[in-house]
Amino acid sequence: MTHPMKSPDGTAASRLAFGTMQFGGRADATASRAMFDACVEAGITHFDTAHVYNEGASETLLGGMLGKRRDSLIIATKAAYSGGGSKANITSSFEISRQRLKLDMVDVLYMHRFDPDTDLHESMEAMAELKSAGRIRYVGVSNFAAWQVMKAIAIAAKFDLAIDILQPMYNLVKRQAEVELLPMCADQGVACAPYSPLGGGLLTGKYVTGGVGRLAEDDRYAARYGLAFMHEAAAGLSQIATELDVPAPTLAVAWAAAHPMGPTPIISARSADQLVPSLAAMDFEMDSALYKRIAALSPTPPPATDRIEEQS
């Protein structure tokens, strides 16, 4: 079951979301605008940013693009990646984000990551106050473990608040979300907008042919996607893509979207041209045979119990 998230005027959330992490960084204002326009034209209604993206440039650029379309779009941002989950930090961070976005109300506010050093009651109270003041409509958490999400759900309920959406990492070579996060979302009626459906560019196949990009430029991404099986899976996906005459990024994004829970992968790019194959996943119908064939390229994560004799 997918959470029925809607824009202020009731427009439904699109099958994919667009992440503006590159706005004002690797994508200048012109490239950013071209990607935004391409997304709107393709039917994307859900746009994701964060307080920390490119020191505010991402929020500022996105805010300048919304115009008269604003009420038909879902705009999400995140607080407390740095500075902790205190009420003061969430509130002050969000106020800056809101001003950059030029919005009285932002549709979704995420806690960008779990803060073990702040009582989650304080964080959820901050979210509840923002919601009751009409500053936000939906509450999200990002990069939380399943137990952390369930803790947030329990504490949020004390403030008559729901956790509406989760943003985890998820792609063909990062499948931990399948063990507990995605089943939990299905069970609790929490929407899921996973990031990195292309594995930092690995699943585009460009590294198979010696291309350049984040895995070559960014040590964090090189480490995150450094295991041999990941590169073998990327090569296998490229072979299937060639065979089907479908771009590898289209297959990678469509695969992430095809999980039975019904996630909304967040796509991104540096330019409108680079975005084209990911956007094509909006209309790509993946049958169960192709889904299973692609899934077989990488290890299915083990279940969350050691009682394997009870697994069906």
In 3D space, the residue among 12, 30, 22, 86 whose CA is nearest the CA of residue 54 turns out to be: 22
Report helix, strand or coil for 93: helix
Token pair for 11: 């427009």
CA 189-193-196 angle, to 5 degrees, is: 150
Token pair for 76: 């999400």
Range list of H helices, the chain: 29-42, 57-65, 87-101, 120-132, 146-157, 181-188, 214-217, 219-224, 228-244, 248-257, 272-279, 288-295
Find the catalytic residue in 53, 81, 110, 138: 53
CA atoms within 13 A on the CB side of 88: 2
Is 110 a catalytic site residue? no
DSSP state of 265: -
Q: Would you tell me the crossing angle of helices 288-295 and 228-244 to the nearest 10 degrees?
A: 150
DSSP state of 287: -
CA pair distance 92, 79, nearest whole angstrom: 9
Amino acid letter for position 41: E
CA pair distance 155, 277, nearest whole angstrom: 41
Residue indicated by tokens 């509406």 = 164
Q: Around Cβ 232, how many Cβ atoms within 10 Å?
A: 14
Task: State the Cα torsion 37-218-298-141 to the nearest 10°.
Answer: -60
Positions marked catalytic: 53
